[in-house]
Each structure stands twice: as C-alpha cells, then as structure tokens.
Structure 1
Amino acid sequence: MTTRPVGRIFTVSHLDASSGALPGALAGSVAAIGNFDGLHLGHRAVFHAARTMAQGLGAPCVLLTFEPHPRAFFRPDVKMFRLTPQAVKAALAERMGLDGVVVMSFDAALSGTSAADFISGLLVGRLGLRGVAVGHDFHFGKGREGSPALLAAEGPSLGLSVEVIPPLQRGGAPVSSSAIRAHLEAGQVEPAAALLGYRWIVRSVVGHGDKRGRTLGFPTANMKTPEGCGLRHGIYAVRMAVDGVVRNGVASYGRRPTFDDGPPMLEVFLFDFSGDLYGKSVDVEFCAWLRGEEKFDSLDALIAQMNRDAEAARAALARGPDTPAPSLLPLRL
C-alpha cells in the first residue's frame, strides 16, 4: 500500500492482498463511501454525517472512493464526463473538512468481491474502519448485490457503525451528478453551481498553443481539458488560480471554428496580467456563460467580439452570480 500526503490528505493509491490497515494518522477512521463525482450538496450531506459520527467516536474522517470510476471500468470504450478527477476531488475534500482520501483501485478483483467480504474483509478487516456513511443509492459487491440496507444490517455486529443518507432535493428534483453534467453540457454553469454548492472547477497544465492570441491582442493560457469533458463550447466569465493567487478572466472552450476546428481546448485570457504561465498547474472556475462558439468572417470581426466578451466577463464577475455559490479557490495543488 502506498500513500501520498497532500496537505492533510493521504491518497492510498493501491490496496492489494498484502495491504494492511490505513496509515497511523487515519487508523480507526469513519469513512464516507461512494464515487462522489462532483462532491455536490448531496455528497456533502454524506460527509456531514460521517464527520458527526467521527467526532462522536473521536476518530478521523475520510472519503473512501474508487478509481477508475466503476462505469469507466465496465465500459472503457465510452468516454465519461468526470466532474472531479482524482486530484481535484482530493483538494476539494480537504477544503470540505475531511482528514483523508482513500482511493481504492477498482479492478476485476474488487468487482468480483462478494458484498459480505466487502464489509467484513475489506471495510472492517483490512481498513479497520469504525463507521461508515453512505448515500441511499450506494451499491457494492459482485453484481451490485450489496445495498445500504445490507450494510446497515451487517455492520453493527462487526463493530461498524452505519448511517444511510436519504436523497437531497432541490427544486423538487434530487441533487445528482447526472443533473450537474446536463447543466454543464448546456453551458448552464450557474445552475450547476447551485447543485454543486460551489463554482465548477477544471484543473489543467498550461501548455504551448499556436500563439495566435498574442497577435490578436489577447494572449491566452492554453489548456487541455480532461478526456470526456462535456462542457458546452462557448465563452465564459472565469476566475483562475495561479500560484495561490486568484485572477479574473474570460475563457473560450471549443474547437476554434474561425481557424482550425481542432480538438477542444480551453483558452483563458486573464485581465491585467502579464507573466509566464507555461507548465504551471492551474484551476479555472466557471462563473457565467456569455455566448456560444461562433465562426467569424474576418479577424477584425473576431477581435471586436473578443473585446465585447472581455467587457461582458468583467461585468458578470463584478455583478456576481444570480444563484450565489461560493468560490473554493485557491485549492491546494
């Protein structure tokens, strides 16, 4: 078992038959268990229950999740729109008050583990957990035979406290990762933020582009988005954290139809900034949708629109979101 500290976060990158208990700092933990893609408001209800239980037991509280996402394991041919890849999930978990993140390898061995062995052999025996909190729809074990009801029935006899959290509703509908993805696929970053409880964040590394933005008067930080990103192509008001400093800007996400219709790229123009960003890991927070991606007949028309976009982004950021959601920037890298 290998661990990597990230602030107060310990990421367990692999658990196999030779693995023992968790690291000493996390021994006897209470765990919130699930995929938790997005760490949205519904997930945070599970975290709150786990933290409350941990406080009562005088124990650490961790997030126990799985990589790859089980859906990606069973359908590797289908690209999945991940809201929070592993590194972002760990950073967000730290901001949300959890003491650690346990990342369990989801492989053929784990998918073939019986529900009973998952509870007694893994959660209690190998990880030494004292309690767990799960959502109402958490299933586990071979063929998803394990359910929250089974966990609640079997756990206490093994010394494992169990709490099952009902679905969280907003606007008459359950808060879900699927609903958030649908909002982002429509460019609706503010409704997505209302369900997330924070403004959605993309983490990437600034790379070299074609330097075209400089010639247009808008030098941009160019980044690839995670594979499967389903964000609607268009122009957004954003904030970007660079070296712990948060700056305002305007971003284009898409294929650049005026030029090359290439692979999707995120390009961010930071206001009132000059400096070398190449190779830096940055977090981009999406604050407001401005318009869809367009093809322009001339560079002059494009530049004029880019100036309007920059002013619209400044205004949107100064005005603030229609649906308040806090910023979590800067995150620990």
Structure 2
Amino acid sequence: MTTTQFQRVSGDAAVPAELRGGVVAIGNFDGVHRGHQAVLQRALEEAARRGVPALVLTFEPHPRTVFRPDVPLFILTPPAVKARLLARLGFDAVVEQPFTREFAGQSAEEFVTRILDRNLGISHAVTGFDFHFGKNRQGGPAFLMQSGERHGFAVTLVDPFRDEGAEIVSSSRIRVLLREGDVVQAAGLLGYRFTVEETVVRGKQLGRTLGFPTANMKLADTTELKHGIYAVRLRRANGTLHDGVASFGRRPTVDEHGVTLLETFVFDFSGDLYGETCEVSFFGYLRGEERFDGLDALTAQMKRDEAEAKALLSGVRPLSELDARIAF
C-alpha cells in the first residue's frame, strides 16, 4: 500500500499513474459489511505483500437501481460514506465506475480490457466467488481467471463469509434488521455501528426552546431505518465525538406531516453545527415514535430518553478496528 492520500476516482478515466499496477477488490460493497470485509482484507494483504497500491472498484449507482428503477432500494452506504469506510480500512483509492445500461451491455471481455487492464492497469484482482459481469452476466470467476492470464494479472476468489450462526452475511439481511430498528444485530453483521453522514440543516428550533437543541439531518428518501429514538454518537467534521440521543421520523407530537428528519440531541454541547457535515452512528433502539399530550409530557420523556441513552453508551466497546475508527 502506498502512502498517498485516499482518492475517489471516476471509472470513466484511467487512474493516476501512482495507482496503476495495484491490487483491486471488485464489487458493489453496499454496507461494507463483514462479508465484504473478507474480500477487502484479502486485497489489502495482497497489496501489502506486493508493495503496490490497494484499490476498490465499485459501481455507482447500485446496479439494481438501474435495472429496477421503479423499486426503491435502501442504500446502506452512499458513495461518500462507502469511500470513508474504505479509507479507514486502509485502501489508497476507490474507483467509482458509473453504472448505466450502456455499461452493463458491454461484453465481459470489454470490461476486462477497458476497465481492469487499460483504465486501472491492475496486477491482481480479488472478488467474491459469485462475481459476474458483462452483458447478460456472461463473465464469471472462470472467465476472469482466464482473462487475467491473457492480460497479465492474477485473480483471487473469496468464499462467502458466514456469521456465528453459519448464515451468509448479506446487505439484504442488514436492511431487514434496520427496518426493524435492530441496530445491535445489524452492527454484528456490519462489523461496526450503522453510520449515516449528512449536512446539518436548520429545523423549526422547537427542541432549543424545550432545552433539547438538535442537529437536524435530512437523510436520503430511500433510508428505511425504523422510525424511533436511538442512542447515538455524532462525529463532527473536525473528528471530535459526542454522545447523544436521536429521533428519526416525523415528530408526531409537533409536526406529524413534516418531512422525515434525523434529529440528534448532542449531550454537553452548546456550539453551532449548521452547515457542517457530520456522521451519526447508531448504538441502540430505545423506543418507537409516540404522540404526547402536550410539550410537557414530551419534554419529560425526552429527559428519560437522555438518561437511558447515557446509560447505554457508557458501557459500549468497539466491535472491531473499523468500529473503533468510526465511533470511538
């Protein structure tokens, strides 16, 4: 691995000279979960062994949104979040290949020749055992290995990763858990606490009048995290971490028909976060959204939520090195 600053590169162009000859991990990697990390770690190890750059080739937008645009897809890690996770894992760059129907229509050989050989100039490819590519998914593991021999790069295939219950870890399983609000089990599959990143926007500032000023974020419309109250940690752009309690939903007591917002009350903080891009990591689901009979009842419940979140967060420990880099 090189010592260059992490880069996000468009797949439409050749990578910078200092990134050529590297090891590339190929896949969508939505979630960058423990199954993905098995592939990614093999790529990092191979790059370190060879003394070459470690890259990730991913596809944006997610291919499912191109082939089935009428079916919303809960994206676990939008491009910026995915890039930050890959940087924290130790990669030198992520190559974000624009995914279109035209791109999907190229042959498997065109993909190898144009993307892997010409654009990236790779020395080694690492991917999952079931990776398919090219028109009608004509390219598979055997084809990739044969093409690698012709183009001068080696290929490593990684078997599916299974959790402690012998089930394959998948993005689909994690989406189901997050829809149920089970951020604890989701973290067990991710290997880190589920984390979102957005710019803090101005709200109606009702929380400030109640003694609970919040940092408000508008998440992507496809975010299907269960509405409710969560114990969280917020990381500012300057890297500082703050415990907090967050509400994700429509605020039925005060603004039932408003837009869905993530509103984070940051403990022991009095600064201004407006316009700042922050991360929020979810540690526990406290309760569902409720409608209260007036602001006094709402305020009393918010104080109880604060106490519960502080108690939960006081005992948490990192799940992995990646988790430690995100939320500790």
- How would you bin the TM-score normalised by the shorter chain? over 0.9
Distance in 2 (alpha carbons) for counterparts of 1:166 and 1:48: 13
**CA deviation after TM superposition for structure 1 residue 117, in Å:** 1.4
**CA deviation after TM superposition for structure 1 residue 214, in Å:** 1.2
Structure 1 residues 176 and 312, CA, compared in 2 at 3 Å: closer, same or farther?
A: same
* Corresponding position of 1:280: 276
* Corresponding position of 2:326: 329
1:86-235 equivalent positions in 2, closer than 5 A: 86-170=79-163, 171-235=165-229
1:240-255 equivalent positions in 2, closer than 5 A: 240-242=234-236, 243-255=238-250
Q: How many residues are treated as equivalent by the alignment? A: 320
User: Within the alignment, does 1:256 sit opposite 2:251 as a pair?
Assistant: yes
**CA deviation after TM superposition for structure 1 residue 215, in Å:** 1.7
Question: TM-score, length-normalised on structure 2?
Answer: 0.93
Question: TM-score, length-normalised on structure 1?
Answer: 0.92
Give the match's secondary structure for 2:201: coil
Distance in 2 (alpha carbons) for counterparts of 1:168 and 1:145: 24
- C-alpha contact (below 8 Å) 1:28/1:59 kept by paired residues: yes
Distance in 1 (alpha carbons) for counterparts of 2:139 and 2:188: 31
Distance in 2 (alpha carbons) for counterparts of 1:114 and 1:120: 10
In structure 2, give the amino acid aligned to 1:278: Y
C-alpha distance after superposition, 1:148-186 (max 9, x if no partner): 232123322321110111100011210111111111111
- C-alpha contact (below 8 Å) 1:244/1:330 kept by paired residues: no
1:37-116 equivalent positions in 2, closer than 5 A: 37-116=30-109
In structure 2, give the amino acid aligned to 1:258: T
C-alpha distance after superposition, 1:41-76 (max 9, x if no partner): 111111121122222332111011011111111222
- C-alpha contact (below 8 Å) 1:199/1:327 kept by paired residues: no
Alignment counterpart, residue 316 of structure 1, candidates 297, 308, 312: 312
In structure 1, give the amino acid aligned to 2:278: V
* Corresponding position of 1:4: none
- C-alpha contact (below 8 Å) 2:11/2:115 kept by paired residues: no
Distance in 2 (alpha carbons) for counterparts of 1:52 and 1:149: 23
**CA deviation after TM superposition for structure 1 residue 122, in Å:** 2.2
* Corresponding position of 1:238: 232
Alignment counterpart, residue 290 of structure 1, candidates 281, 286, 301: 286
Distance in 2 (alpha carbons) for counterparts of 1:23 and 1:330: 32
- C-alpha contact (below 8 Å) 1:30/1:50 kept by paired residues: yes
Structure 1 unaligned runs (5+)?
Answer: 1-6
* Corresponding position of 2:18: 25
Q: Percent identity over the alignment?
A: 50
Distance in 2 (alpha carbons) for counterparts of 1:149 and 1:264: 46
Structure 1 residues 324 and 91, CA, compared in 2 at 3 Å: closer, same or farther?
A: closer
C-alpha distance after superposition, 1:291-315 (max 9, x if no partner): 1111112211111111100000000
- C-alpha contact (below 8 Å) 1:238/1:285 kept by paired residues: yes
Give the match's secondary structure for 1:155: helix
